[in-house]
Structure 1
Amino acid sequence: MAANHESTASNLNGPKPIRRLEEAVINRIAAGEIIHRPSSALKELLENSLDAKATSIKVSVEDGGMKLLQIQDNGCGIWKADLPILAERFTTSKITSFQDLERLTTYGFRGEALASVSYVSQLSVVTKTKSDTCAWKAAYIDGKLASKDGSPTEPKACAGNDGTIITVENLFYNTPTRLSALRGSSEEYSRILDVVTKYAVHNPHVSFTCKKSGSASPDITTPSGSSVKQAIGQLYGQTIAKELLETRISSAGDGVIRVDEEEPWSAEVFFTSPNYQAKKMVFLLFITHRLVESSRIKKALETIYTGILPKGAFPFVYLSLQIDSRSVDVNVHPTKREVHFLDEEQITQKIGDAVHAILIGQNQSKTFEYQTLLTGGTAPTASQSKKGKKRARPDEEDELSEASSSVPLAAPPAAKKPAPNHKVRTSQQDRTLDSMFPVYTPSQRPSIGDANLGQTQKTVVVKVPEIVVSECNLASVMRLRQEVEDVKHEELTEILQKHVFVGIVDLGRCLSLVQHSKKLYLMNHGALAEEFFYQLGLIQFGDYHRIKLDPSPPLRTLVELAVDVEDTSASKLSKANIVNMIVDTITARREMLAEYFSLEIDADGNVSSLPLLLKGYTPNLDKLPLFLMRLGPQVDWYSEQKCFQTFLRELAYFYVPEPLISGSTDADRADETAMRWQIQHVLFPAMTRYMLPPKTLVDRDVVQVAHLPELYRVFERC
């Protein structure tokens, strides 16, 4: 039978036989997933030393770690009896069962670090426990006790201090492709320094030393028993340390509600003030003491600084997040570079809000240096300033007040004021239309508590919600995304990105005024919003947040409400039949709707959740019956690309901010006020950042109504 199998396999038209890989090949493949370069090997070994309760860790490196990488610690050491299986795969002292992963408090747990290193290098260990009378030395190749020539060997007694010395020589000597792919020794050494630096910041109670082998002075040295702030100042510079702000946040009051008790978490954040600026962001993230990466958390913190720091300037942030071990899954990446944990979005949001609040307070009290002389000018003497002192015109008093407070003896020469026809609004905090009309009809007259509505508006600071592009490999979605980019109108994009919101002219007709440079534009914000929400649907396809409906309304009832007010006289079907067809169409596709669009309909036919396209923006739920009714006839359910496109168009239409009924009750006016607020403070800022407007909007929905220089000429003639 075996001969027949081989002969069949040799046939070019037949399948190749399946063979079991050799153990050495399996182990070397596994090692390649964990040990990418010297710095990744060092990270694993550093974590072993920290798990051993070391208070002193010394690292020696030669040729960027490729020739020699040695880590010495004063931890608890290793028993001699454990040395024979020390470098075998899945040998560990950290866990005994899979359930132990739910209460893990150590760095290592799988028993693969030393094994992986031994498969791609020549590994030796010298170790001594406090109860041993001498140290023991052992060498490993391919996970087994062996000398450098490959012959079996046993641990040997030798002199040594308490703790462990692990020496890694000739890294990747047996995988030349991996070795040739590495960068130069100087770059690999800089990566090693980066790893040591980050762990030294997070473990200020441990003394770290890192140097090149044979060098007299170390490149990194930290004392034990220092604080995080002291460690940051020593390792990243006092310039950063002087500008560090600090906050601590916990799960208390985070608003996350669970069926069971709330899982506790806490975070410690050190971040630079608005006075510090760097060319790139330095972000240290430790989750349950593990050095990890998170593009979502980094982007959220980076976004906070976008409106505070100048363009091209970045902060320094160190974040240590402690989460209950039952809420964290650390076993999701071979190198433990990533972890997953519950309520990641809510926790990130609360940390970001706390950092943002402190930065806003700092930014408002930020001091600036003023240049008191124009180029080529001379400073007046004290006597000259007294003789020439005169009362400033009322319109100059505010301009001179700041300068006079910092230069008491001489006010600077007044800068040449711009011509009136060149003055433009430069701040989003300037007055808007709503604050310029304090006159109300009797039914709209404000109460005593609202007596200040006619005064200058209070500054509103709203953080633009972060939009994360979902990972989607569907060709239809990729084509739709590309279509949006292909029809982008450059001029309108610039107008949106650099506009100043003036006010809403007509909420019912969806008309708003914005200013860009010296031009005033009347925009149909409903048309812009419809296109914008369609683009948001494409950007977040398959990964939407949800709006929970509680209680969940019945789908059939909602569709009946919409069909009842529709004129169906042209249809041959009765209204009951139309309702049945729409409900059956949607229900038959509820799994697809839940997976791709987060539109969830439970087994009882109740609508339990809707897709949330923009955080901080709530669509008008009065339009929900109409939205569900239109899904039946308006969505092309039989073509994948057309289905996605037409569904997202209907979803965008549902999200357009427009009141269905302009009522005169207090509830109606409250709804309109909330809608106005969302349009100004959520919708337009989000469009400024994320929207790619098409040319079709320029043709019909954006109209220039005034040009300042031309308008000024008209009034001059008057």
Structure 2
Amino acid sequence: MTTQDRSPSPAPGPQPIRRLEQSVINRIAAGEIIHRPASALKELIENSLDAGSTSIRVTIKDGGMKLLQIQDNGSGIRHDDLPILAERFTTSKLATFSDLSRLTTYGFRGEALASISYVAHLSVVTKTKADSCAWKACYADGALTPMKAGTSADPKPCAGNDGTTITVENLFYNTPTRLSALRSSSEEYARILDVVTKYAIHNPHVSFTCRKAGSPIPDVTTPSASTTQQAIRLLYGQSIAKEILHMTVSSRTPAEEDDDEEVPDKGSWDADAYFTNANYQAKKLVFLLFINHRLVESTKIRKAVEAIYTGVLPKGASPYVYLSLNIEPRSVDVNVHPTKREVHFLNDDEIIERICDAVQEKLVGQSQSRVFEYQTLLTGGIAETPSQDKGKGKKRAREEDEMDVDEPEPPPSQAAKPKKTLSQHKVRTSLQDRTLDSMFPVFSPSQQRPGDGTQSGSGSPNAGSGTPPGTQSGSRVREIKESQCYLTSVRQLRAAVVKGRHNHLTEILQKHTFVGIVDVNKCLSLIQHSTKLYLVNHGALAEELFYQIGLRQFGDLGRLRLDPAPSLRKLVTLAVDAEEGVERSKMTRPQIVDCIVDTLLSRREMLEEYFSFGISADGKVETLPMLLRDYTPNLDKLPLFLMRLGPQVDWTAEQECFESFLRELAFFYVPEPVIPVSPDELTEQEKVEDKAVQWQIQHVLFPTAARYLAAPKSLLDRDVVQVANLPDLYRVFERC
């Protein structure tokens, strides 16, 4: 190649500048405003909200590309305005440029419907309250178009409700490149649901519904007149709603907030935020930002919020944040983005810093300690993981009952092929296995027994308890016969116990294996049932058990004889003197003692006949009701028991009297210390007595509960909690 061949060609002359045709201008502008179905829906939702709607219904087909319809009950569109409805720059919100500084509505440029009409088939049905009928109009390229060939393009009367229904069909039918750039219909529909959800959170007073065409069940639905907290719970779930914190902050000082007549200056603002605490962690940040009720994006605010949670959440975890910022319209420039997705406002650094400081202060105040929640099968908290049938290669979801129930035996034809039991489903049921306290020496009641009382009736106090300490085989339960009673009140109380029986919890107690006592002072014990471990408040369990045993033996209770018999007045006086808050009563302490003693003495014949509670004529407590043989209550609680019989028992009605007395008697029998003391602070004698109490709990209380307790559902609220599940533990170790 010669040098002459390599010489550059002469530069072309300047190209002429041409005026674009109006149709090209409009189509380019439409591409800026409407770039996917979700953006078109956003514009239409804002129009509906500007019209004062309280109900917005959205119907979608093929991700909004075939059909996108929105129906509201707003103010509607006047018939005279329909001819210019879809023309560019026609709006009811703006008259002069200075109106931008006072703008409080969503739309203002008049481009939404115009842009949609250039890239889709647009039809509108609208009716105002003043109209006698609705009007329907169709649009193409910003102008009215006939509904059928050969007919007039003018709006036609039709049936319809107050409000507006806008139907967008075949979106991007004339822009194939834009259509091919869209994702699948399911992904576009997901974007639509996201838009509807965000506006539903910000407008809880408006009812939103979004569904696929032909589907009877909506994918998003919210009631009207709800709160933001309720909307978050409904749309984002309970896991987020229960960890939500609420915070408000404004530019005004507390003194200025009290002065409602102050005219807001150009820099006034206020913010309302709902955000999750340190207990909630998600893989992706959910950030809803509304500025002057407009859904926008702000990279600066987003990064500031993420920085707050950097020191609170572990790496890779993200929160949920909804922030609504209201700023004086004069400080906001809303006309900086074609889709109004971004706005600019004055003093943004100062406002963001104030908001973030308030959020951080609230967050730190609520996250001094993490809350680790457990799932409990008793209260319906665990959802079983769908298992996979490898033989057929199909997934199947199996719904199990709240408690473990033994499966029925297979028919004889299948008996030859027993199923292999996986390790995580094997249950330890041997009573010879060691419990928590089997590795420590335990004194049985035959060696030492707390209290001064002796038991009357046949048999020694320790009959049936001659088993070596530390084993479970000494837990033989004496039979407790139900007394014959013809009192209607007692029969009703017994029927109430049967009616309130929780079958699954009762089954757990009937078939449990005692594991050990966790804390005597807090009345906590561990039991095992099937492959699950439960933490039980044995104090609450004992209180319910002793109430039912007392009711079962009503009128035929055994007697626990006190020798020597203490003075009723002295015992009540001890309890009243130790009771706090008596000064607030209208009665003096001696008057309270006299009232309680007189009440019990006047009813001593009834107490003796029905409850074997013996009080002599001179005020000596001779016998106490014996609810359970081989079990002696803590007699240190006797003064408190006698004092509570005065104010806590309803002596005016028969059934209420029997029930409240038995409840107080059961509370007296609960195996708990009067004053909780650390084990290190106990004397040698007290340690012996403490071991004896633990022996009673394991070998008398729990076996009796397994046989006679009809466990009520109230125990599930806080007294019986599942703390471990063997199959779940196997899954944890498989991941390690």
TM-score (norm 2): 0.49
In 1: Cα distance, 2:521 partner to 2:337 partner = 57
In 2: Cα distance, 1:406 partner to 1:18 partner = 92
In 2: Cα distance, 1:313 partner to 1:120 partner = 41
- Name the SS for the 2:210 alignment partner: strand
2:32 matched to 1:33? Answer: yes
In 2: Cα distance, 1:189 partner to 1:171 partner = 14
Q: Is the 8 A contact 1:62 1:213 kept in 2?
A: yes
Higher relative contact order (CA 8 A, sep 6+): 2
Could you tell me which residue of structure 1 aligns to residue 131 of structure 2? Answer: 132
1:527-676 aligned at under 5 Å gives the runs none
1:463-513 Cα deviation digits (max 9, x unpaired): xxxxxxxxxxxxxxxxxxxxxxxxxxxxxxxxxxxxxxxxxxxxxxxxxxx
Distance 1:243 1:369, change over 3 A: closer
- Name the SS for the 2:342 alignment partner: coil
Could you tell me which residue of structure 2 aligns to residue 51 of structure 1? Answer: 50
In 2: Cα distance, 1:115 partner to 1:233 partner = 37
1:366-515 aligned at under 5 Å gives the runs 366-368=370-372, 381-382=436-437, 384=439
In 1: Cα distance, 2:26 partner to 2:373 partner = 62
Could you tell me which residue of structure 1 aligns to residue 279 of structure 2? Answer: 275
Q: Is the 8 A contact 1:141 1:150 kept in 2?
A: no
Higher alpha-carbon Rg: 2
Q: Is the 8 A contact 1:122 1:148 kept in 2?
A: no
- Name the SS for the 1:284 alignment partner: strand
Q: Is the 8 A contact 2:46 2:106 kept in 1?
A: yes
1:672-683 aligned at under 5 Å gives the runs none
Distance 1:77 1:275, change over 3 A: same
Could you tell me which residue of structure 2 aligns to residue 340 of structure 1? Answer: 344
In 1: Cα distance, 2:148 partner to 2:345 partner = 46
Which range is displaced more, 95-104 or 343-352?
Answer: 343-352
- Name the SS for the 1:93 alignment partner: coil
Could you tell me which residue of structure 2 aligns to residue 178 of structure 1? Answer: 178
Displacement of 1:296 in angstroms is 1.1
Could you tell me which residue of structure 2 aligns to residue 90 of structure 1? Answer: 89
Displacement of 1:364 in angstroms is 0.8
Q: Is the 8 A contact 2:305 2:356 kept in 1?
A: yes
For 2:16, the aligned partner's letter is P
Distance 1:406 1:197, change over 3 A: farther
1:428-487 Cα deviation digits (max 9, x unpaired): xxxxxxxxxxxxxxxxxxxxxxxxxxxxxxxxxxxxxxxxxxxxxxxxxxxxxxxxxxxx
Q: Is the 8 A contact 1:385 1:410 kept in 2?
A: no
Could you tell me which residue of structure 1 aligns to residue 103 of structure 2? Answer: 104
Displacement of 1:366 in angstroms is 2.8
Could you tell me which residue of structure 2 aligns to residue 327 of structure 1? Answer: 331
The count of aligned residue pairs is 381
- Name the SS for the 2:367 alignment partner: helix
Could you tell me which residue of structure 2 aligns to residue 120 of structure 1? Answer: 119
Could you tell me which residue of structure 1 aligns to residue 318 of structure 2? Answer: 314
Distance 1:217 1:386, change over 3 A: farther
In 1: Cα distance, 2:241 partner to 2:434 partner = 37
- Name the SS for the 1:71 alignment partner: strand
Q: Percent identity?
A: 67
5+ residue gaps, structure 2? 1-9, 256-263, 375-427, 444-517, 527-736
Could you tell me which residue of structure 2 aligns to residue 217 of structure 1? Answer: 217
For 2:194, the aligned partner's letter is D
TM-score (norm 1): 0.50
Displacement of 1:12 in angstroms is 7.8
- Name the SS for the 1:138 alignment partner: strand
Displacement of 1:67 in angstroms is 0.6
- Name the SS for the 1:364 alignment partner: coil
In 1: Cα distance, 2:350 partner to 2:203 partner = 27
In 1: Cα distance, 2:438 partner to 2:275 partner = 47
Could you tell me which residue of structure 2 aligns to residue 199 of structure 1? Answer: 199
2:18 matched to 1:19? Answer: yes
Could you tell me which residue of structure 2 aligns to residue 164 of structure 1? Answer: 164
For 1:169, the aligned partner's letter is E
Q: Is the 8 A contact 1:233 1:240 kept in 2?
A: yes
- Name the SS for the 2:199 alignment partner: helix
Displacement of 1:381 in angstroms is 2.8
In 1: Cα distance, 2:366 partner to 2:434 partner = 33
Q: Is the 8 A contact 1:207 1:223 kept in 2?
A: yes
In 2: Cα distance, 1:93 partner to 1:369 partner = 53
In 1: Cα distance, 2:440 partner to 2:162 partner = 76
Displacement of 1:385 in angstroms is 6.0
1:333-380 Cα deviation digits (max 9, x unpaired): 00000001111111111111111111112111334579xxxxxx9995
1:683-713 Cα deviation digits (max 9, x unpaired): xxxxxxxxxxxxxxxxxxxxxxxxxxxxxxx
In 2: Cα distance, 1:304 partner to 1:385 partner = 51
Q: Is the 8 A contact 1:245 1:273 kept in 2?
A: yes
For 2:369, the aligned partner's letter is S
Q: Is the 8 A contact 1:382 1:409 kept in 2?
A: no
Displacement of 1:313 in angstroms is 1.0
1:561-604 Cα deviation digits (max 9, x unpaired): xxxxxxxxxxxxxxxxxxxxxxxxxxxxxxxxxxxxxxxxxxxx
For 1:213, the aligned partner's letter is A
Distance 1:272 1:135, change over 3 A: same
- Name the SS for the 2:69 alignment partner: strand
Could you tell me which residue of structure 2 aligns to residue 670 of structure 1? Answer: none
Q: Is the 8 A contact 1:380 1:410 kept in 2?
A: no
For 1:69, the aligned partner's letter is L
In 1: Cα distance, 2:166 partner to 2:156 partner = 15
Distance 1:173 1:262, change over 3 A: closer
For 2:436, the aligned partner's letter is T
Could you tell me which residue of structure 2 aligns to residue 452 of structure 1? Answer: none
In 2: Cα distance, 1:261 partner to 1:52 partner = 28
In 2: Cα distance, 1:12 partner to 1:62 partner = 53
Displacement of 1:405 in angstroms is 11
Could you tell me which residue of structure 1 aligns to residue 243 of structure 2? Answer: 243
Could you tell me which residue of structure 2 aligns to residue 635 of structure 1? Answer: none
Q: Is the helix fraction higher in 1 or 2? A: 1
Could you tell me which residue of structure 1 aligns to residue 360 of structure 2? Answer: 356
Displacement of 1:54 in angstroms is 0.4
Displacement of 1:263 in angstroms is 2.1
In 2: Cα distance, 1:315 partner to 1:242 partner = 13
Could you tell me which residue of structure 2 aligns to residue 614 of structure 1? Answer: none
In 2: Cα distance, 1:22 partner to 1:74 partner = 38
